[in-house]
Structure 1
């Protein structure tokens, strides 16, 4: 090969490398510009939100405490690392030792320093604790702003116009005034049976308090007999778990035995689930206190070294049973008085949304799916029904949030003077499913975090946050499916699949999405997902009623009724 050809090849290679580097540089610059613009947009949005909070929510974003001084964003966060959770080992007393003990003191100091480092590592790994402070709900604070109050008035007018539409339809088409009362009569049948079971459940829950007290007292008396003490505690634990399982089984089986309609069954199942969570919160919180030692001061320890273990008084337990929280504490922040006008407004909102649900059931759900199993159902009809239910399902979703997590919980809080009203956060601004699940229902999320996630993280998966989170998702999905399935008396695990499958997948898929796009995708998935969820459950419910299917084998109970009707 000649020298000229080698130079030509070298030149071609240089040009080739230069072109590749230029393309790489252009792609890097383009990607850098996109990321930089997103970061600048996020910073500007945060600045605008901070200005809005500073001007519109002057008394909402910062709370003060006499002991701790101003706490930034105290209203927006409900957990913090408590300083008292880890005993400090940094303070040592300065004592003059004889010369013979100097080496021993140096070794002691080194050991204490190692203990301090280990305690610091444990403190970093420790998960934050739930903190209760006096604060209003997000929407209560937002509605103090004139702009947001105008939006509230607009929704009120929309509800009134919906009511007028129903009245005109009933009068001119049906020839009478129904106003959704037929739905109330059908949905609240056998409610007196539900109230009777509810009273019996509360008697059982009160019995648990005295059973727990008996366990603590007997355990303290068996302190000198470690083997008997361990046998007593393990026996009581097995009895407690068995009682919880029987409690849950009875509530679900009574729905089938009494043939409860949907609303009555939901009341019974949700109340039973709430009481189960309350009982576990009380036992879990106080059992740890009994196992670690009695609640005392140093003076009490010197004066009464053999005092019985501390069990909170009955009135603390009774207040907790009705308080709008699932996290047990001996006391909670309380308001100074009851705002009766505020409580009445929340009660009227509950009644108004209940009538709105009745209208939606009669004019949309029953209208679209009432004849499933009796009419032909092809792909065009199915698509039309799904899209026809998207907007009503979105109204059901939003009004359900407002009725339960805002109106009902604020109503009960006001009557009980319960100070901490953070039942939800600003979930509507979420751009990932992580923040949506954390902010949507703070009451249930706090219970799952406090009594499931933390215990699993510490004792079962030993520091694996991913495994602990997945287990929490599965438990939550199972409970949601159990409530819906037994209330409708169908086996149709759509909620479990959407919540425990698609919902978990979206948590990981949407983490890197930009804020605006993530929020748009979140709302799109919520609206379309709820429309699909309500449509599928309504189809299964009416198909089971209309088709009169025979249950011959066990597989007939697991096969969807809508499939058996048309195949």
Structure 2
């Protein structure tokens, strides 16, 4: 009996352990089930909310925003809007386009006997990226302002702008005794503009010379098609010369800003125009070099004796067209709407005066004496918060000035049909959508000529690596323009754009739409206020403080800090 008890005791302990383990596993499974159900309910609720919101937006567009939901049935262009074409693709920027090579590839390379795929499809495991498409369409705000409700909001902003300008004018007259009208800012900011114009003309001579250099490379490469090694040496040599010329082009524009000591506005004009031309040149070379290497289709069974090269007229039109993506042809409008073009030009002039007023009444008033006046923490906080709303006006007016008024003005003069220079970025709830929709012109260039190539050839299908590369390049270019325009090293833009902005891209991807949009606007308002205030503080601190350079740390520590510490 005792022996049986001794045998059953370990068995009971074993059963008890198994029961406890089973109970533990059941608890974990129940907890996992509860979490799964809760996450599923949350996701389902979010999906239902998205579907209902999309249905409400569709109903609104069908009744009010007809330009977004309907296409022109008769194909004719009215006096107020363009023919939008296909209503399914009017507001989409890219679509999948199948690229099929000719049955007989007549590439200049001797190894072109077997058909080759385009570089983007050479790796079958990689997802095919969509291509940029151009169709005739108006800008978002142009279409929105056809609705009476949006037009009324537009008029309200007009009245706010007029009242702001009247406030400045009356203050100058009754307080200072004369009308200023921001002319002092224009005189100081546009000094040495004739030097900028001269450099701009010389840059266009270089850009036109690139076209003939490209033709020379293509024709010589074609003549060397039977000599593979010599052809490869010629192409590699031209590639090195091309990269070197692009680097020299960018270096010269930055150096001239320092040599001529250009003021901020003139320096920004030169640097932004130089950056635009660099992007234009690369777009032309990148797009046409692939066509030269791949070859041209046979026509009626007869091979073409020379490589296909676009005409000079196509290249010159592309240089001035409001796009950074090269194509031989773009959708064109039938005529120029002169009232529309003049209205956009007047908006450019009005916003320029508004910027001058903001500089004199807010930026200069808050920070012109920074470094000379005694300053404590409460006073600094008051200055920073006092710049938040003016900075937001600068941000919004900068968007409207460049991406809507100026680009629509140039498009109307050139009869350029595709006016999608931006999308509805103001409704974004993630920074992914904001960066995609804020500046479609630059985003298209980064996507076509940086993201796609890096995605295909460098990271071999990694979207994260390609995206980070695009962000870093964009942040460095933004910082380069601001740094050389202000003639100082103060990488706040790089930190806010390349570090904080990239971090928010990953943090906000699963944010609810309403909260995400609120946080996006909060971060934009506060971030722009901080950005402009810090650059203004550093700029005036370098002018007002007599600081000595005693070591390498003095080059790194901001002057705005060293003035008071």
Q: TM-score, normalised by structure 1?
A: 0.88
The whole-number CA distance in structure 2 between the counterparts of 1:121 and 1:196 is 47
Residue-by-residue CA offset, 1:308-343 (whole Å, 9 max, x unaligned): 211111010000000000000011000000000000
User: 1:504-543 counterparts in 2 under 5 A?
Assistant: 504-543=502-541
Is this contact kept in 2: 1:346–1:408, CA < 8 A?
Answer: yes
User: 1:130-529 counterparts in 2 under 5 A?
Assistant: 130-293=132-295, 295-299=296-300, 302=302, 305=303, 307-529=305-527
CA shift for structure 1 position 552: 5.3
1:41 corresponds to which residue? 49
CA shift for structure 1 position 42: 1.8
The whole-number CA distance in structure 2 between the counterparts of 1:278 and 1:322 is 9
CA shift for structure 1 position 71: 4.2
CA shift for structure 1 position 18: 10
**Gap change, CA 1:257 and 1:551, over 3 Å in 2:** farther
2:78 corresponds to which residue? none
The whole-number CA distance in structure 2 between the counterparts of 1:375 and 1:206 is 52
Instruction: Provide the secondary structure at the position in 1 that maps to 2:141.
Output: helix
The whole-number CA distance in structure 2 between the counterparts of 1:229 and 1:356 is 57
CA shift for structure 1 position 34: 4.2
The whole-number CA distance in structure 1 between the counterparts of 2:23 and 2:216 is 87
Residue-by-residue CA offset, 1:501-550 (whole Å, 9 max, x unaligned): 00010001001111111111111111111111001001000101111334
CA shift for structure 1 position 556: 3.3
User: Are residue 84 (structure 1) and residue 107 (structure 2) matched?
Assistant: no
The whole-number CA distance in structure 2 between the counterparts of 1:213 and 1:28 is 62
CA shift for structure 1 position 124: 7.1
Residue-by-residue CA offset, 1:461-491 (whole Å, 9 max, x unaligned): 1111110110000000000000011111110
Q: Which of 66, 74, 95 is residue 58 of structure 1 equivalent to?
A: 66
The whole-number CA distance in structure 2 between the counterparts of 1:517 and 1:566 is 39
Is this contact kept in 1: 2:68–2:143, CA < 8 A?
Answer: yes
Specify which structure has the higher proportion of helix: 1
- Which range moved further: 472-481 or 362-371? 362-371
1:108 corresponds to which residue? none
Residue-by-residue CA offset, 1:425-454 (whole Å, 9 max, x unaligned): 000111111111100000000000000111
**Gap change, CA 1:204 and 1:553, over 3 Å in 2:** farther
Q: Superposition RMSD on alpha carbons, in Å?
A: 3.0
CA shift for structure 1 position 84: 3.4
CA shift for structure 1 position 200: 0.5
The whole-number CA distance in structure 1 between the counterparts of 2:494 and 2:125 is 36
The whole-number CA distance in structure 2 between the counterparts of 1:468 and 1:169 is 52
Is this contact kept in 2: 1:427–1:436, CA < 8 A?
Answer: yes
Residue-by-residue CA offset, 1:233-283 (whole Å, 9 max, x unaligned): 111111111100000000001111111110000000000000000000001
The whole-number CA distance in structure 2 between the counterparts of 1:519 and 1:349 is 28
Q: How many residues align?
A: 532
**Gap change, CA 1:462 and 1:87, over 3 Å in 2:** farther
The whole-number CA distance in structure 2 between the counterparts of 1:120 and 1:267 is 41
Is this contact kept in 1: 2:126–2:461, CA < 8 A?
Answer: no
The whole-number CA distance in structure 1 between the counterparts of 2:312 and 2:403 is 27
**Gap change, CA 1:423 and 1:70, over 3 Å in 2:** closer
2:89 corresponds to which residue? 74
The whole-number CA distance in structure 2 between the counterparts of 1:175 and 1:405 is 37
The whole-number CA distance in structure 1 between the counterparts of 2:27 and 2:230 is 81
Is this contact kept in 2: 1:63–1:74, CA < 8 A?
Answer: no
Mind listing any 5+ residue stretches in structure 2 that lack a counterpart? 6-12, 76-83, 104-114
Instruction: Provide the secondary structure at the position in 2 that maps to 1:83.
Output: coil
CA shift for structure 1 position 122: 3.8
- Which range moved further: 22-31 or 554-563? 22-31
CA shift for structure 1 position 20: 9.2
Instruction: Provide the secondary structure at the position in 2 that maps to 1:298.
Output: coil
Residue-by-residue CA offset, 1:159-204 (whole Å, 9 max, x unaligned): 1101110111001111100011111111101111100000000001
The whole-number CA distance in structure 1 between the counterparts of 2:326 and 2:532 is 34
